[in-house]
């Protein structure tokens, strides 16, 4: 746990990446697995994660992220895209996955399936999309923590034009919406932000114990 906390103090939202340093494929696979294992409501994972490596595609996306250099200088760009108007088919796919993974008949999961479908169908589309968008942040948190463990830099970003990202990547045609993004790579030696002391609320200010 001490190492985990040390790595949390080490990490920061990198402002300038070293474009010459690339993440090893083996480390990328570890990050992908960390994201895959993320918690989500019911375990549904109502999102996709797009990983952009192509320099050409990152150049196309950069103007839609207010020309921030992290988009093009980082090794990879993770884009967390939530499902739009989540439907019963997603629940059916999840139930089938549970059945195959755990060797449980789908009939035995009918109650769980009906409960999820009832909850989801009862939500207005806007509320449903807010709910699926929230799930992406749980996955983002796993990415940030896993990256810190590997001493890989990551920058969570909401400063981008989601509609433009959706159009460039064709996400809207897939029923997806770019919700939050995270360039990952290695900090540039010239990024002065890495030397700033981390600023957080004190425990006394942050926590309320009842």
| Domain assignment of residue 18, given as a range | 2-87+124-206
Do the domain assignments include residue 8? yes
The pTM for the full model equals 0.96
Spatial distance between the Cα atoms of 64 and 81, rounded to a whole number of angstroms: 16
57: exposed, middle or buried (Cβ count in 10 Å: 0-12, 13-18, 19+): middle
Rounded-to-integer distance, Cα 171 and Cα 164, Å: 10
Dist. CA 151–CA 6, nearest whole Å: 11
Q: What is the CATH number of the domain that holds 9?
A: 3.40.109.10
Q: Does 103 map to a domain? A: no
Task: Tell me the average pLDDT across 173-185.
Answer: 98
Residue 114 lies in a domain: no
**108's tokens:** 């035995």
Residue 109 lies in a domain: no
Question: How many domains, in total, are found in the chain?
Answer: 1
- Residue 37 inside a domain? The answer is yes
Burial 182-201 (b: 16+ CB within 10 A, else e): bbbbbbbeeeeebeeeeeee
Q: Mean pLDDT, to the nearest integer, of 191-204?
A: 96
Residues 184 and 156: their CA atoms lie apart, in Å, by: 9
Give the mean model confidence (pLDDT) for residues 16-32: 98
| 102-155 pLDDT, tens digit each | 999 999 999 999 999 999 999 999 999 999 999 999 999 999 999 999 999 999
Share of the chain above pLDDT 90, in %: 99
Instruction: Let me know if residue 63 belongs to a domain.
Output: yes
Residue 138, token pair as written in the block? 């749980």
Taking only the tens place, the pLDDT of each residue in 41-87 is 999 999 999 999 999 999 999 999 999 999 999 999 999 999 998 99
Cβ proximity of 183 and 71 under 8 Å: yes
pLDDT for position 9: 96
Domain membership flag for residue 19: yes
Residue 102 has a pLDDT of: 98
**Nearest Cα to Cα of residue 128 among 206, 46, 68, 200:** 46
Asked if residues 170 and 57 have their Cβ atoms less than 8 Å apart, the reply is no
Q: Where does the pLDDT of residue 198 fall: very low under 50, low under 70, confident under 90, or very high at 90 and above?
A: very high
Query: Residue 76 and residue 139: Cα distance in Å, rounded?
Result: 16
What mean pLDDT is reported for the chain? Answer: 97
Residue 94 lies in a domain: no
């Amino acid at each position: 746990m001490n190492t985990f906390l040390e790595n949390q103090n080490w990490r920061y939202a990198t402002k300038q990446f070293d474009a010459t340093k690339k993440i090893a494929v083996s480390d990328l696979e570890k990050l992908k697995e960390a994201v895959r294992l993320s918690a989500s409501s019911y375990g549904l994972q109502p999102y996709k994660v797009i990983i952009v490596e192509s320099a050409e595609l990152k150049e196309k996306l950069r103007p839609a992220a207010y020309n921030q250099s992290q988009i093009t200088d980082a090794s990879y760009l993770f884009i967390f895209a939530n499902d739009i108007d989540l439907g019963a088919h997603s629940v059916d796919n999840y139930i089938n996955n549970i059945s195959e993974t755990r060797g449980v008949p789908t009939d035995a999961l009918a109650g769980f399936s009906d409960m999820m479908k009832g909850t989801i169908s009862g939500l207005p589309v806007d509320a449903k999309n807010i709910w699926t968008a929230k799930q992406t942040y749980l996955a983002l948190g796993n990415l940030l923590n896993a990256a810190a463990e590997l001493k890989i830099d990551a920058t969570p970003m909401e400063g981008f034009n989601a509609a433009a990202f959706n159009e460039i990547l064709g996400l809207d045609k897939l029923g997806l919406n770019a919700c939050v993004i995270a360039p990952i790579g290695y900090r540039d030696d010239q990024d002065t932000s890495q030397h700033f002391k981390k600023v957080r609320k004190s425990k006394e200010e942050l926590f309320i114990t009842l």
